[in-house]
Amino acid sequence: MDDVVLNYHDSLLRNSDVKLLEEGNWLNDNIIGFMFEYFRQELFSRDDILFLDPDFAQLIKLSQNDEALSLLSTVGLNGKCLIFISVNNNRSTTVAGGTHWSLLVYDAALKCFEHYDSCAQTNEDEAKYLAKLLSQALSVTPKLEDKSFAEQKNSSDCGVYVIKTASVLCSSKIRQEPCDFSAITPTAVASERQRIKQLIMEKSSAGR
């Protein structure tokens, strides 16, 4: 039985989700969604920072343009200095999945979308399309910059890179300091899996 491990605000995790944190597994939207919710609620709890839920990001990507803009109007984009969006390369409207995650960030101060992909430019087209939708919703014309950095060493860690990069990047931008990606190494990513699992267990034990 796939029991519920944690019900945390708008995030629900089951045993099958938590097992994906073992090395070699590709993270799903539920794990990334939990961490984005944790960032939203606790670590970076600010009215001017938005972490879009992965399911919502996928929904707007696969919706018709008018419907996507209508959906975006409900999440309070205006007034946000930073918007974090997980990008998935699944293009099917009927089958869940995908093979790669990357991170798209809107920085209002720089008037720029930044795309962070740990596997070269695998999600370039998806990132461009999401940036186009958000630009229309925000009524701005920002540039899109590819910020691809040190590549992952396997096919399963992309979701962990998204989580780790979002955390490091948000901290740096809040402090208005250059972002040091040198700490995002394969070893650090492996440790991040266990750190996330520990956080989930702590929240579960606390009844959150």
Q: Tell me 25's DSSP state.
A: P
Name beta bridge partners: 105: 84, 114
Which amino acid type is present at position 14?
R
DSSP classification of residue 183: G
Put the strands of the sheet holding 112-116 in their side by side order: 49-51, 82-88, 101-107, 112-116, 143-146
Mean pLDDT, residues 13-19 taken together: 98
DSSP for 43-59, please give it: IT--TTEEE--HHHHHH
Marked catalytic residue, from 17, 29, 53, 100: 100
- 4-205 has CATH 3.40.395.10 classification: yes
Confidence of residue 150 (pLDDT cuts 50, 70, 90): low
Q: Which of 17, 29, 157, 158 is catalytic?
A: 158
Q: Is the pLDDT of residue 180 over 70?
A: yes
- Told to judge if 117 belongs to the known catalytic residues of this protein, a careful annotator would answer yes
117, 119, 157, 170: which one is catalytic? 117
- CA–CA distance from 191 to each of 28, 63, 73, 105 (Å)? 18, 36, 37, 24
pLDDT at 207 exceeding the cut of 90: no
Q: pTM of the prediction?
A: 0.95
Q: In 48-113, which residue ranges form alpha helices assigned H by DSSP?
A: 54-62, 65-72
Would the CA dihedral through 194, 195, 196, 197 be positive or negative? positive
Give the SS3 label for residue 82: strand
Residue 9 is among the residues annotated as catalytic for this protein:
no
Q: Is the pLDDT of residue 29 over 70?
A: yes
Confidence band for 56, pLDDT divided at 50, 70 and 90: very high
| Predicted local confidence at residue 94, as pLDDT | 64
**Per-residue exposure over 148-178, b if at least 16 CB sit within 10 Å of its own CB, e if not:** beeebeeeebbbbbbbbbbbbbbeebeeeee
Residues 39-49 pLDDT 10s? 999 999 999 99
Mean pLDDT of the chain: 93
